[in-house]
Amino acid sequence: MEIKYFRLIKTIAEEGSIANSAEKLFLTQSALSHQLRELEERLRFKVFLRTRNKWELTDEGVELYKLGNTILESIEKGFQNIEQLRTGSVGIVKVSTECYSFYQGLSAFVQKMGLLYPEINVDLILEATHQPIPKILSNEIDIAIITSKPENETLSSIEIYEDEIFAIMHRENTLNKTGFIDANDFLESHLIIHSFPLETVSVYDKFLKPNKITPLKISAIPLTEVALEMVDANMGIMCMPKWALKPFKLSDDLVFKRIGRSGLKRTHHLVFRKSDKSKKYINDFISNFKDNFSKI
């Protein structure tokens, strides 16, 4: 039985007349009478009886009226729930990282989010780089990508993926003779990083600093293409994960060396405010980010 018939029964029963019901249903009286007659022919019983210029439900009609109310109320509630979900999916997600190199690949992800969730705007907040946790706490950004869990009870973190940092050098670099790069090997090396401060550079913060090693020379080159050209000219070494270099055409003269005997590995986390857990658009961003980057 079509929904329109339940609406027809409900309207006639509550209005009590064909004229008022036709106006409310945006039908002509003729069209409404035709639909009612068609319904009763299909059901093979009368739904309404006309008495004293008023349309009243038969016993069978009363049961249909009750059933129709239940169905229509359920449909209305369903659409209200859908609208609440849609409203919860609208929002702006401000994202930053602890290092500029982490932005590699984020633009493609933002574009993908724009196609899948046009009502969610994702903004990359570059000025919050190097200090994403304070910016989250001050509500200046919503999501941070970092490599250590925050020690703050108001924040939540989700482990996304693990990667490994490699030393990239020219094959003629003297360090290429070793099986892996030790901390002391950096003492006589020119280390090319993306940006200062050094504490935001993984190879320094997680490998050199604990070993109290400072490279002979450190240069900050914000453009990866330029840094790769310098390494290809054997002017220094850079340390990055392999996934971050996928968009670039690498020279055949470049080699990757493991840092430390066991490798320099790091775990990436998405950090956000616990108070934002209930926001659907935040959860949509997190679930898609995890799905996209867990394949690295």
Domain with CATH 1.10.10.10 in the chain: 3-87
Chain position carrying tokens 């070793």: 178
Q: How many CB atoms lie within 10 A of CB 87?
A: 12
Burial (CB count <10 Å: 0-12, 13-18, 19+), residue 13 = buried
Q: Cβ–Cβ contacts within 10 Å for residue 150, how many?
A: 17
Domain 3-87 CATH (choose: 1.10.10.10, 3.20.20.140, 3.30.70.3040, 3.30.450.40): 1.10.10.10
Tell me the CATH number of domain 91-158+268-293, given options 3.40.50.720, 3.90.245.10, 3.40.190.10, 3.20.20.80: 3.40.190.10
Q: Within the chain, which residue ranges are assigned CATH 3.40.190.10?
A: 91-158+268-293, 162-265
pLDDT averages per 10-residue partition of the chain, 296 residues? 92 91 92 93 92 87 94 87 68 92 86 91 94 96 93 94 96 94 96 92 95 96 94 97 91 97 95 93 93 80
Round to the nearest angstrom and report the end-to-end CA distance of the chain: 52
- Positive or negative: CA dihedral 128, 134, 140, 141: positive
What is the predicted pLDDT for the residue at 87?
62
3-state secondary structure of 74: helix
pTM of the complete model? 0.67
Instruction: Give the CATH number of domain 162-265.
Output: 3.40.190.10
Q: Which of 269, 289, 283 is nearest to 108 (CA)?
A: 289
